[in-house]
Amino acid sequence: MDPQEYFESQIPPSNLSEVSERVDSFVNNHFKKRKIVLVTSGGTTVPLENQTVRFLDNFSAGTRGATSAEFFLDAGYAVIFLHRQFSLQPYSRHYSHSKNCFLDYMKINEKGEVHVEQKWNLNMKEVLVKYQNAKKLGTLIMIDFVTVKDYLFTLRSVTKILSKLKKDAMLYLAAAVSDFFVPDKKMVEHKIQSDDGPLDLRLDKVPKILSPLVKEWAPNSFVVSFKLETDESILVKKSKKSLKTYGHHIVIGNILTTRKKQVIFVYPEEDKPILEVTLNEEELKNGTEIESKIIPKLVEGHNMFRIE
């Protein structure tokens, strides 16, 4: 199914126009004042029933996207954070992981008042200052999705709105997007029953939307996509193939098991060497996040692209 056929045959999410209005007003607020990045984050689901009891999911906690969003805000960008509902979010991610429940940072003093434990005070203050600053400047907007359909329709609307920024927009596509789905016309209404024995599933292929995104929706934006593999031997080949097929600017390749300490930047230019971004032992020990190295390189690349 090609992208046009997909968008013509699927029923759009019911909140699409409300989301588009919010994004439009956000973009108008920042237009010509600062660069804007769309960060996509988290995994998409593929429902098997219209009244959904079962669904397939794509792996992603949302760490890459949420962490990257913070570094883009630090770099002066306004951020549209398009994320899977309930996945990690910028700033709150520091306190929402199951190992780091925010209640563990609190204590009750002699007067019965709730305070932050002294040893966390400095660290929490740093996060809080940045969070409040983003709120004050209105530089962070959060949009959520659940299904792959929500994601695709919203991505199309948001990128079209961003196209008015021309080269001042960056698209940073870190969400883990399903390659397969059940089209609306083949979807059953009610919970699939097990009385009839095993379930045979046949899924259609999700259209390759990077193609219209780069050529039609936001033709002047700086586009960075991610490639996730589990087999290291095909990562470079697949990343290069993606750049050749879609004609965008950078593919960041990562392997599932090492994604937090190593990524590669692959460029469309044949003569431009692949760039390895890694964390060394010391950085791993002191809690450096790899996004602190990824984002400055992309900001530099985006700035070069803007003056080309």
For 137-237, strand residue ranges (E) read 140-145, 169-173, 180-181, 204-205, 222-229
Q: Which residue has the tokens 């398009």?
A: 82
Distance of closest approach, residue 13 Cβ to ligand 9Z3, in angstroms = 20
Instruction: Calculate Rg over the CA atoms of the chain.
Output: 21
3-state DSSP helix/strand/coil % of the chain, to nearest 5: 45, 20, 35
Distance of closest approach, residue 41 Cβ to ligand 9Z3, in angstroms = 7
Task: Mention every residue, 6+ apart, whose C-beta is less than 8 A from residue 3.
Answer: 207, 208, 209, 211, 212
The yes or no reply on residue 90 touching ligand 9Z3 (CB under 6 A) is no
The yes or no reply on residue 35 touching ligand 9Z3 (CB under 6 A) is no
The yes or no reply on residue 176 touching ligand 9Z3 (CB under 6 A) is yes
Distance of closest approach, residue 213 Cβ to ligand 9Z3, in angstroms = 10
The yes or no reply on residue 290 touching ligand 9Z3 (CB under 6 A) is no
The yes or no reply on residue 61 touching ligand 9Z3 (CB under 6 A) is yes
The yes or no reply on residue 147 touching ligand 9Z3 (CB under 6 A) is no
Pick the binder of ligand 9Z3 from 228, 250, 266, 290 (CB under 6 A).
228
The two structure tokens encoding residue 127: 């996060």
Beta strands 180-181 and 204-205 are antiparallel
Q: What are the angstrom distances between the C-alpha of 86 and each of 44, 66, 89, 96, 107? A: 12, 12, 8, 10, 26
CA-based diameter of the chain, in Å?
67
The yes or no reply on residue 226 touching ligand 9Z3 (CB under 6 A) is yes
**Closer CB to ligand 9Z3, 61 or 236, in the complex:** 61
With CB under 6 A, what is the number of residues at the site for ligand 9Z3? 15
The yes or no reply on residue 206 touching ligand 9Z3 (CB under 6 A) is no
The yes or no reply on residue 225 touching ligand 9Z3 (CB under 6 A) is yes
Distance of closest approach, residue 153 Cβ to ligand 9Z3, in angstroms = 16
CB 68 within 8 A of CB 111: no
The interface mask with ligand 9Z3, positions 241-260, x = CB under 6 A, is: -------------x----x-
Question: Which residues would be at the binding site for ligand 9Z3 (CB under 6 A)?
Answer: 60-64, 173-174, 176-177, 225-228, 254, 259
